[in-house]
């Protein structure tokens, strides 16, 4: 008898066919997030859940799911997991690391280049018919090559960003991390720095930390005041790692030059957010891993984690806290 699974998002046909070989599944086949009320109904008789990082796996849901054995996130992050509640119920959780590292690093460099060279702003300038004479110097951008990049959070994606910076743009790279990465320092020629010194020295500050109680709003008014007035801040981690009000003020008061953001405290961004009115902010819709190939690979990895766990095997991407 096949196990029962609920899939909380649309997935490619090939992934559906793979799941169908091993499981009886129902699916929320929509690009919109599954409504909480529907999810609570669907979990009543399932053994496994293929979820997104926006599907909250908490005590309330677990009480409704007496048969649930595994939740497989199609995401690297798993802030949606109530780890203590899952441990108590002996429900395991998996995620999809490694698959998206290069893709997110590509986007981060896109954000660096777009903000430094004012690509989005100048695109509008041309399309609005304003390019009628020589470009005014007030529209000039900044060089990226041979500048200093500061990376806060040297995980797998941070390493890929550092590699691009050193080998592609001849940048000096400083990094701050909870633990030093001597091997990465030696292989890439990057330098460890305490965070305050990194903020003072870097021309570009990239935030790449996971969201934890320790990293929530780790970039606030004090940290932004340490940065150069010519510095650009890039956040592709989680919106809540930044005090968005302090960032807005720093941008409005020209305490820093610009920002490039893929994540926000509220997602989607409020249509009335003052950030939308600032020409010195490049904004993306939390799309760091969103290429067709990477999203396919993430969905397949999530499905394989789920199938392995339901087969009684240890999936390769069991989250650390639930091992």
Residues designated catalytic: 238, 267, 286
Whose CA is closest to 206, among 265, 137, 151?
A: 151
CB 5 within 8 A of CB 19: yes
What single DSSP character describes residue 302? H
- Residue 248: closest CA among 218, 216, 280, 226: 280
Cis peptide before 168 (omega within 30 of 0): no
Rounded Cα distance between 221 and 213, Å, is 18
Cβ-Cβ contacts under 8 Å for 172 (sequence gap 6 or more)? 147, 148, 149, 191
Calpha distance 4→128 (Å, rounded): 54
Spatial CA neighbour of 97 closest among 317, 299, 300? 317
């Amino acid at each position: 008898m096949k196990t029962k699974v609920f899939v909380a998002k649309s997935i490619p046909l090939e992934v559906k066919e793979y799941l169908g070989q091993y499981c009886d599944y129902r699916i929320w086949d929509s690009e919109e997030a599954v409504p909480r009320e529907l999810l609570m109904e669907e979990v009543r008789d399932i053994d496994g859940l293929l979820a997104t990082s926006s599907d909250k796996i908490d005590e309330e849901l677990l009480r409704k799911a007496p048969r649930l054995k595994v939740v497989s996130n199609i995401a690297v992050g798993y802030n949606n997991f109530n780890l203590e509640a899952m441990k108590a119920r002996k429900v395991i959780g998996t995620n999809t690391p490694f698959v998206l590292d290069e893709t997110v690093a590509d986007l981060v460099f896109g954000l660096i280049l777009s903000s430094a060279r004012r690509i989005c702003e100048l695109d509008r300038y041309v399309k609005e018919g304003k390019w009628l004479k020589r470009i005014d110097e007030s529209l000039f951008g900044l060089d990226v090559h041979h500048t200093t990049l500061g990376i806060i959070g040297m995980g797998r994606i941070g390493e890929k960003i550092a590699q691009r910076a050193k080998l592609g743009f001849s940048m000096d790279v400083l990094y701050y991390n909870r633990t030093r990465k001597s091997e990465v320092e030696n292989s890439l020629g990057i330098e460890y720095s305490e965070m305050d010194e990194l903020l003072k020295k870097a021309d570009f500050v990239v935030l790449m930390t996971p969201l934890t109680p320790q990293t929530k709003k780790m970039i606030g008014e004090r940290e932004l005041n340490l940065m150069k007035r010519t510095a650009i801040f890039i956040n592709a981690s989680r919106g809540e790692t930044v005090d968005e009000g302090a960032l807005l003020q720093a941008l409005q008061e020209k305490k820093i030059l610009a920002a490039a953001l893929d994540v926000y405290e509220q997602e989607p961004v409020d249509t009335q957010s003052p950030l939308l009115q600032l020409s010195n902010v490049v904004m993306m819709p939390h799309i760091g891993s969103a290429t067709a190939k990477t999203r396919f690979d993430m969905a397949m990895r999530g499905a394989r984690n789920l199938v392995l766990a339901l087969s009684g095997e240890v999936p390769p991407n069991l989250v650390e806290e639930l091992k």
